[in-house]
Amino acid sequence: MPIVTMTVNGRTASADIDPRTLLVQFLRENLMLTGTHVGCDTSQCGACTVHLDGDAVKSCTVLALQAEGCAVTTIEGLGAPGLLHPMQEAFREHHGLQCGFCTPGMIMAAVDIVHRHGNELSETLIRHELDGNICRCTGYHNIVKAVAEGARAMAPAMGAGGTGSTGLRTAAE
């Protein structure tokens, strides 16, 4: 069986896999990174969204072997317990979830929107850009609020304590 090697959340990951292994399976079953969810497995719902070389993709629709040599970021790589990413913090603050199943994908998609469109996002733009992510609980309203707020919070912070473009802040802030 072929060997695949990629960087996941900053660490090198390598394994001997069946060529059919999807990126999402590799993340969940080989690396035990179960934050990335499988909602539909038919490329529709976006629950499996991760960043592949910086771009949001549906990891149920990428073969692990296609990610050879790439850098993958999953929800686990965004923040840490006690050190949430501003977008995660915004989802918590604005109650942008109910069951939480879609949340990892929503957050990864939301961070990608900020990377492409900046920190001031209109409601229309957010709704349009979340096209690839389906939530069956919330009715989207609080998700949209959370994304707008999270985007603002990701702006390179003014003054001391801000960590600039990564948008990471300490939990104490």
Ligand X SMILES: Cc1cc2nc3c(=O)[nH]c(=O)nc-3n(C[C@H](O)[C@H](O)[C@H](O)COP(=O)(O)OP(=O)(O)OC[C@H]3O[C@@H](n4cnc5c(N)ncnc54)[C@H](O)[C@@H]3O)c2cc1C
Residues that bind ligand X (CB under 6 A): 43-44
How far is the C-alpha of 30 from the C-alpha of 59, rounded, in Å?
A: 14
The minimum distance between CB 97 and another protein, in angstroms, equals 19
CA distances from 101 to 13, 45, 57, 97, 114 (A): 25, 11, 17, 8, 22
Q: Tell whether residue 78 is a contact of ligand FES (CB under 6 A).
A: no
d(CA 126, CA 141): 11
Q: What is the dihedral of CA 104, 105, 107, 109, to 10 degrees?
A: 160
How many Cβ atoms sit within 10 Å of the Cβ of residue 115?
15
Among 50, 90, 97, 130, binds ligand FES (CB under 6 A): 97
Give the nearest distance from C-beta 133 to another protein in angstroms: 8
- Smallest gap from Cβ 123 to ligand FES, in A, equals 18
> How far is Cα 13 from Cα 3, in angstroms, rounded to an integer?
10
CB of 95 to another protein, least distance (A): 24
Written as six digits, the tokens of 74 are 């999953």
CB 28 within 8 A of CB 16: no
Residue 173 partner contact from another protein, ligand FES, ligand X, none using kind-dependent CB cut-offs of 5 to 8 Å: none
Binding to another protein (CB under 8 A) within 92-131 occurs at 109, 112-113, 116, 129, 131
Q: Which is nearer to ligand FES, 111 or 135 (CB)?
A: 135
Residue 16 interacts with, from another protein, ligand X, ligand FES, none (CB under 5-8 Å by kind): none
The residues of the shown chain that bind ligand FES, judged by CB under 6 A, are: 38-41, 43-48, 58, 60, 97-102, 135-138
